[in-house]
Structure 1
Amino acid sequence: MTDTPVDEPEYPSPSISDCRRLQGPNRYGPTPGAVVTVLVVDAEARCAVDHWPYAARRLTQALGWERIEFVARHSIRDATCYLSAPMDGLMTATAVAEMAWVESEAYVNQREVPDAAPTLAAQYAEECVRHPHVRELAAGAHTRGLAFSIDDEAVSVGSGRGVLTWAHGEAPSSSSVAWAAVSDIPLIMVTGSNGKTTTTRLVAAMWRAAGATTGWSCSDGVFVESDLEKRTLGIGDYTGPGGARLVMRDADVQVGVLETARGGMLRRGLGTTTATVAVITNISADHFGEYGVHTLEDLAEVKAIVTRALGPEARLVLNADDPTVVALGARLAAGHALPIAWFSMNADTALVAEGIDAHGDGAVLHDGHLMLCREGVWGDVGRVSEMPVTADGAARHNVENALAAALTASCSGVSLSAVQVALRRFGSAWHDNAGRLERYAFGGITVFVDYAHNPEGIRALCATAASVPGTRRGLVLGNAGDRDNDQLRALAQAAWSVAPFDRVIVKEMVSLLRGRPEGELPALLVDELRRCGAPADRVSIAPSEFEAVCEMLSWAQKGDVLVLPTHAERGRVSSYLDQLRVGGWRAGDALPAAPVFA
C-alpha cells in the first residue's frame, strides 16, 4: 500500500490567506514591498495584527533594512499587513511578512518559535545575487525623476523612446548608465469603475491625431499605433502593471496611455513610478469583499493609488458629477497640493470653475457642446451628437467619457484641434471601440453589445438602448461569480429599473463562476428580477453566453431592440453578429449554424 503524498501548506500559518509582492506604488505607500492578508476570527487574532509591525520591524532590522514602513489594517473579516522593502528584496519581503505573522501569533499565544532571521538573511543574500544593482538603479531613476519598473524578467529606467531595459542579472551599476540618454514619455493612467477602456482608447486616438506614436494597454490587449502601422504586443486583459510595462518598454512609443484597474493595483501595485496625468472616471459599487475592499470609500482609496505616480507638475482629472469622486477629491486636496482638473455634464458646476481659477483646466457640457478649457482659454470641441462614440448623443455615459478623455488629453499636451479630429472620427468604425457600445442594425432589429459588468454600467447601457425606438426589447443578463449577492441583485435591479423588458435571458458562464456552484448565480438573478416585477414567462436561463444570444436572436422580430452585455464569449458573439449581418439574415428567419470559434 502506497502512502498518499501530503501537499506542503502554501503558507507557514493556516490563518494566512494571501501574501504577495507589490512591485510599484500601492495602496499602502509610494514604494514597493509586500503585503500579507490574514483571517481575523477572534480577539487573539486582532491582537496578533496589532503586534505584527513590531515583529516585522525586528526581522527587517536583522536584515539591515533601513527606513522601512509598516502598516497593519483591520478589515471586516480579515486584516492586511504591509511592509515596504528595497527593490532587491521583494521576494524576501514576502517571507518577512509571513514569518512576522507567525511570530505575532506565537507572541499572543505565549508560544516559542524558532528565530527566522538567519534563514531570511540567507534568502536575501541569494536574491541580491540574482538582482545586482537593482536598488541603486531605482535610486538613480528616482533622483532624476524618471520612471522605474521591475518584474520577474527585467528592470527598466525611463519609458518609451527614452527607456533602457536589462534582464535580471545583466543590469549595470548606476554609475555605468548613460543617464543623459534616458528620458520619459508622457504617461497617462486611466482608472475608475466604468468607462476606463473607452476613455483609454479615446485618449490614445487623440494623441495619434496629434501625430504621436501611441502605446496603450487596456482590457483587450496592448497596442502600439502610428499613422503608418499598428502592432499588437499582447491580447487579453492587460489592465495591470504587466500591460503598463509592455507599453513603457517599447522604444517606438512616444506617448503611453495605461488603463489601470483595481485588481492589478491591489495585487502588484502600479507598473510605473511616474505619470503625467491620471484620470478617475467614476466610482461605483463593484468587487466588494476582495482584498479588504468593502465600501465605496475603500474602493475610492484604491482608485486613488494612481496619484502616487503623479509629480507636483502633473494633473489629476476627476468627475465632478460623481459624489464619491468629489469626496475623494476633497480628501486628496487636503492632503497635498496636487492640481485637480474637473469635468462635468453641467456647465455651472462650481468645482470645474474652482479648478479653472486655480490652474486653468476643465471641461463641461454646455448647450450640447463639449467645451474644453486649457490654461484659462475655452475652446469648443464640437456638438456631442455629432461624435460617433456618443450614439447621436443618446449614450450619456459616453458623453461623460468624451469629457474625461478630452480634458485628460489636453492636460497631457494634446491640442484642441487634435481633440476635435479624434472625436469626429472615433467610433465611426466598429473596431475603434470593440466590445463597448457596439451598435448593430441589420435584419430589421437593433442590437447593442457592451461589456457592462456592474449596476451602473448596465443602467447606462439599458438607458442608451431605451432611447432607440423599438417594438419589443430583450436583454441578456449575467455576471462573474466574484461579486457578492447584494451586487448581483443590484445588477438585476439596475437593468429592470430603466424599463421593463419583454424578454430576459439569464446566462450561465461556467468560465467565470469564480468558486460558485453552477446554477447559483442565474437562479439569484432570476429571483431578483421576479422581485422587481418581471413576469415569470418573460425570464429564462441559458447554459452559456452564446446560447443566450442565439436564443434571443431566435425570439426577435422586426423592430425589436436587443441588449447583449458580453463577458465570456465576446469574440464569438461579435463574429456571429457580423455573419448574420453580412449574410442577410432577417429577424424571424432560422439562425444559420455558427462557425467554429477558436
Structure 2
Amino acid sequence: MTLTEWLAYIERQHPKSIDMGLERVRDVAGRLGLTRPARHVITVGGTNGKGSTVAFIEAIADAAGWRVGAYTSPHLLVYNERVRVDGHDADDARLVAAFEAIEAARGDTSLTYFEYGTLAALWLFEHADLDLAILEVGLGGRLDATNIVDSDVAVITTVDLDHQDYLGGDRETIGFEKAGIARGWKPLVLGDDDPPSSVLRHAYAIGASALRIGCDFFIGAAPGEAQQDSPAAGQWRWREVGYQLDLPLPKLAAPAQLRNAAVAIAALRALDQPLDDTAIVRGVAAADVAGRLQRFERDGIEVVVDVGHNPQAARELAAWLQASSAPGRTHAVYAALSDKDVAGVVAALAPAVDQWHLAGLAEQAPRGADVDAFAERLAGTPAAAGTRHADVASALDEVLRQAGQGDRVLVFGSFHTAAAALVRLC
C-alpha cells in the first residue's frame, strides 16, 4: 500500500480515535523488539508550546552536531511532518516500512491512529542511530503512547485547561496527568511560573528533580544588571546559578517563545552532555515551526496564521497583537473544533480584534461543525455577530477582498484552520 492507503487503513483499526492507555502500545512495542529510540531521550508535554519547544531543542542539538530525531503531532499539511531525522521529514517509503513492521507484529491487538504513528516513529528512530530523540506528547502524558519510553529529561511547558473530557476539569487534575511523563531521579523541566501543586507533589513523590523557570533558571539579567531581554536590545539572556548566555531573539515571534526557548535550553543542559554556547546561540536563531504566528504579506495586508486553540494560547495571541499593533484594522478569521472553549478564546482576544469572521470546519466531523452551529456556540460573545463563511479558504478570500492596506488578518483556532490557510497562502 502507499502511505495514503496506509493512513486510511490505520484510521479504521480501532473503534475510538482516542483510547488512552499504555497496555496495547507497550505490548506491540515488545513484539517489535523496540528497546530505546536514541542514546538520549527528551519527552515534551504541556498544554501549549510543545511544538515550539521541540523545535528549539531540535535546532540547538542539530547545531551541536548531534544526530537528532523529532516526533511531533498533529501535522499541518502532510503526515511526514510528524517524524523528522536530522531535520528532514521521513519519506513515504520509510513510513510505509514502519507501518508494515507494526502490522506484522501487532497480531489481534487494535491500535489507534496515534499509537500506530508513535510506534512508527520509535521504530524509525531505533534504526537511525540517533544521539537524541525528542518525543512530543499527544494528549496528557501519563497514558499517552509516548510514555512507554523512559526519558532522560521530561518537560512540561505549561498547564492550562484543554481536553478536559480526557484530562479533567481543573489545572490540578490536568497537571497530574501531564506529570506522568516524569521519571524518578531524572530532571523534570517546568515552564510555568506557578505550576500546579499536583505536578510538584508527583515530582517529589517519585524523586524527580524539578527545574523551574523563575527559580532554577531565568530569562533576563540578574538584579542590578542591565536588562537584555527586549526587542529594543535585540537580544535576551538565559541564566542559572554560575552560568549565563546572551542570545539573539528567536525567529518565532510570540512573547511566549522566549519562555519556550529558555525551557529548551534548560532541558538540553539537564542532559549533562557537552553543549557549547555557539550551538545554543545558533539553534535559538534558527528554530522555526509552521503555523506559529507565521506571517505573509498580500497587497499591503499582513496575514498571520496560528494554530492557537484554547484560552491560554489566545491570551498569548492577544499580547502579541497588542504589542505589535497594525496601522489599520485587525480582522480575525476564527474556526474551531466543537470540544474547545470558544467563548474563553474570544474573551481573551476580543480587545485586540476589530472585526470577526467565522468559518466552518464541517469536513472535520465529528469534532468539526458548519459555521452556523459554530456561531451558535459563540452566542453572547463579540464574535457572534461576525460574518459567516462555509470554510476557512472562503473566509480568508473574502476578508482579503475587504481589507485595506495596513490592515492585519489573523487566521487561527485549530491545526485544521491553520492548514487550510497555509494551503491558500503558500
TM-score (ref. length: structure 1): 0.56
Find the aligned partners of 1:491 and 1:407 in 2 and give their Cα distance: 30
User: Alignment partner for residue 459 of structure 1, among 295, 307, 315?
Assistant: 315
Superposed CA offset, 1:53-95 (max 9, x none) = xxxxxxxxxxxxxxxxxxxxxxxxxxxxxxxxxx7xx6xxxxx
What is residue 348 of structure 2 aligned with on the other side? 494
Deviation of 1:197 (Å): 0.6
What is residue 54 of structure 1 aligned with on the other side? none
Identical pairs, percent: 21
Q: 5+ residue gaps in structure 1?
A: 1-16, 24-31, 35-86, 91-148, 161-184, 345-350, 353-361, 427-431, 579-598
Kindly indicate whether residue 397 of structure 2 is the aligned counterpart of residue 576 of structure 1.
no
CA contact 1:217–1:239 (8 Å) conserved in 2: no
Larger Rg: 1
Find the aligned partners of 2:82 and 2:238 in 1 and give their Cα distance: 29
What is residue 36 of structure 2 aligned with on the other side? 158
Task: Show the 5 A alignment for 1:549-560.
Answer: 549-560=396-407
Task: Show the 5 A alignment for 1:245-324.
Answer: 245-246=122-123, 248-262=125-139, 266=143, 269-290=145-166, 293-307=168-182, 310-312=183-185, 314-321=186-193, 323=194
Distance change in 2, residues 1:558/1:271 (3 Å): same
Task: Show the 5 A alignment for 1:95-494.
Answer: 150=29, 154-160=32-38, 185-219=39-73, 220=75, 221-226=81-86, 231-232=90-91, 241-242=118-119, 244-246=121-123, 248-262=125-139, 266=143, 269-290=145-166, 293-307=168-182, 310-312=183-185, 314-321=186-193, 323=194, 325-344=195-214, 351-352=215-216, 362-366=217-221, 367-369=227-229, 370-373=236-239, 376-383=241-248, 386-389=249-252, 391=253, 395-412=254-271, 413=273, 414-426=275-287, 432-468=288-324, 469-483=326-340, 487-494=341-348
Distance change in 2, residues 1:547/1:157 (3 Å): same
Find the aligned partners of 1:237 and 1:554 in 2 and give their Cα distance: 39
CA contact 2:141–2:177 (8 Å) conserved in 1: no
Q: SS of the residue aligned with 2:346?
A: helix
Find the aligned partners of 1:519 and 1:444 in 2 and give their Cα distance: 28
Please tell me the residue identity of whatever aligns with 1:372: W
Q: SS of the residue aligned with 2:388?
A: strand
Deviation of 1:295 (Å): 2.2
Distance change in 2, residues 1:441/1:568 (3 Å): same
CA contact 1:223–1:230 (8 Å) conserved in 2: yes
Distance change in 2, residues 1:336/1:21 (3 Å): closer
Q: SS of the residue aligned with 1:462?
A: helix
Deviation of 1:544 (Å): 0.9
Superposed CA offset, 1:220-278 (max 9, x none) = 23333438x66446599789743652454232322101111226754x54343311111
Find the aligned partners of 1:19 and 1:317 in 2 and give their Cα distance: 27
Find the aligned partners of 1:196 and 1:240 in 2 and give their Cα distance: 18
Superposed CA offset, 1:205-230 (max 9, x none) = 11100101110011223333438x66
CA contact 1:241–1:264 (8 Å) conserved in 2: no
CA contact 2:188–2:209 (8 Å) conserved in 1: yes
Superposed CA offset, 1:514-563 (max 9, x none) = 35764564223541324xxx694xx1111112112112211211000111
What is residue 5 of structure 1 aligned with on the other side? none
Find the aligned partners of 2:220 and 2:380 in 1 and give their Cα distance: 36
Q: CA RMSD in A?
A: 3.2
Distance change in 2, residues 1:250/1:319 (3 Å): same
CA contact 1:224–1:253 (8 Å) conserved in 2: no
Distance change in 2, residues 1:372/1:406 (3 Å): same
Superposed CA offset, 1:24-74 (max 9, x none) = xxxxxxxx489xxxxxxxxxxxxxxxxxxxxxxxxxxxxxxxxxxxxxxxx
Q: SS of the residue aligned with 1:157?
A: coil
| Structure with greater strand share of residues | 1
Please tell me the residue identity of whatever aligns with 1:211: G
Specify which structure has the bigger relative contact order, considering alpha-carbon pairs within 8 angstroms and separated by 6 or more residues.
Answer: 2
The size of the alignment, in residue pairs, is: 373
Find the aligned partners of 1:270 and 1:521 in 2 and give their Cα distance: 35
Find the aligned partners of 1:197 and 1:513 in 2 and give their Cα distance: 25
